[in-house]
Amino acid sequence: MDRRTIHSFEDFIQPTASDKTVSGCFGMVRDNCRRFHEGFDIRPSILFDNGEPADRIFSAMAGQVAYINQGLNGPYGKYVILFHPQAEVPVYTLYAHLAYIEPSLKVGDAVPKGKTIALMGHTAIASSPIPKDRAHLHFEVGLRLSDSFNQWYAQKLGKEESPNIHGVWNGQNLTGFDPNYLLSSTYVNVADVIRALPTALAVTVRTDRTPDFVKRYPRLVVGDPQTAAGWYIEFTWHGMPKRWTALPAGSSQLPSTNFQISSIDYRFKDAMVLRKMLRSDGRSPGENLIQNVEILFANCR
C-alpha cells in the first residue's frame, strides 16, 4: 500500500461485518462501541486470482524478532511480534492473522526496517474464523507490562487449568496505544508520543521495590527509583501506564494502603467503565486496572 495514496482511514482500514470504518480502528469500536480493539485492521491492496490477499507484510521499524506464533491457538491466528530496543521507548509491534510467516525468521533475529516478514491473511482461532473477504493485517504497537508475567499468571490462573502458551508475550501482558500516532508523520519520537497521551486516571502504590517496567522504560520515569518508597502512576483510559513518578519516603502522596486511585479525569469516565478500568460507579478500581497493577508489581512481592 502506497502511503502517498492514504488520505483517511477509509483508504486502508478493514471494517468488521458492521461495515463501519471505525470498527477497524483503535479504541472502543466493536459491538456498538462497547468492546475494545487494540490496533488497526489494514485491508489488502492486492489479491491473488483465488481472492486471497497478496500483500507482503514488512517490519515497521528496525528491531528483533521477539515471538512467533505459527498455530491457530488464539484470536490472532498466526502472528509475529517484533521488539524495538532502538526506539526512544522500546515498544513492540504485532502483526496478526497472517497467512504465512517467512520460514527463515527466528526469535532473536535482527530485523531492519522494511524487511518482509510475512504474507497477509485471515487466520484466527477455529471457533471464530475470519472470512476471506474480510482478510486483513491486525497491526498493534505498545509496551510490555512485566517480565514476571509468567509468575503472576501461574498464581492467578493456574498452569494446569489454563496454560500460558505465549509466555511474557501473552496479550494480557501487552498494552497498546493508537498506531495512528506513529503513522501521522515521517519522523516520530515514540517517547514523546507516549508521554503526550492523555492521563485519564492515576494511582499511588506503596512499595520500596522497583518494578521491571520502570527499568525497561526509564524515559517514562520521573524521580529516582533508587530512593522510591512508592509510585504515582498515570494511566491512559485504556490501561497503559504512561508516566511513573517515584515517591520518596515521607511523601504526602504515599497511600495509606498498598494501592489506591489518586485522581480521575471524568471526561474519560464512560470509556474507562466500558474498558473496566473503573467499576460502574465511576470511582472504584475496575477489573482491568486491578489486573494491570498486579502484573506490573508481580516482581515486587
> Among 217, 230, 219, 242, which Cα is nearest to 292's?
242
Asked if residues 277 and 265 have their Cβ atoms less than 8 Å apart, the reply is no
pLDDT of residue 10: 84
State residue 9 phi and psi, 5-degree precision: -60, -35
Structure letter (DSSP) for residue 158 = -
Give the start-to-end residue ranges of the domains of the chain: 3-183, 197-296
> Among 206, 201, 225, which Cα is nearest to 279's?
201
SS3 call for 20: coil
Q: If you classify domain 3-183 with CATH, what class do you get?
A: mainly beta
pLDDT of residue 63: 97
The residues, any chain, with a CB within 8 Å of residue 300's CB and separated by 6 or more, are 207, 209, 210, 211
> Among 278, 298, 202, which Cα is nearest to 244's?
202
pLDDT of residue 2: 47
What pairs with residue 121 in β-bridges?
Answer: 136
- Number of Cβ within 10 Å of residue 64's Cβ equals 15
pLDDT of residue 49: 96
pLDDT of residue 115: 97
Asked if residues 174 and 144 have their Cβ atoms less than 8 Å apart, the reply is yes
pLDDT of residue 299: 82
168: phi > 0 → left, psi -120 to 50 → alpha, else beta; which?
alpha
Assessment of whether the complete model's pTM goes beyond 0.75 = yes
Task: Provide DSSP, 199-260.
Answer: P-EEEEEE-SS--HHHHH-GGGEES-GGGEEEEEEEE-TTS-EEEEEEEETT-TTS-SSSEE
pLDDT of residue 275: 96
Residue identified by cell 508481580 is 298
Task: Show pLDDT as tens, one digit a residue, over the chain (301 residues).
Answer: 444 445 577 888 999 999 999 999 999 999 888 999 999 999 999 999 999 999 999 999 999 999 999 998 889 999 999 999 999 999 999 999 999 999 999 999 999 999 999 999 999 998 889 999 999 999 999 999 999 999 999 988 765 567 889 999 999 999 999 998 887 666 789 999 999 999 999 999 999 899 999 999 999 999 999 999 999 999 999 999 999 999 999 999 998 888 999 999 999 999 999 999 999 999 999 999 999 999 999 987 6
Q: How far is CA 94 from CA 103, 177, 191, 208, in A?
A: 17, 12, 19, 33
> Among 235, 228, 298, which Cα is nearest to 268's?
235
What pairs with residue 225 in β-bridges?
Answer: none
Indicate the residue type of 238.
H
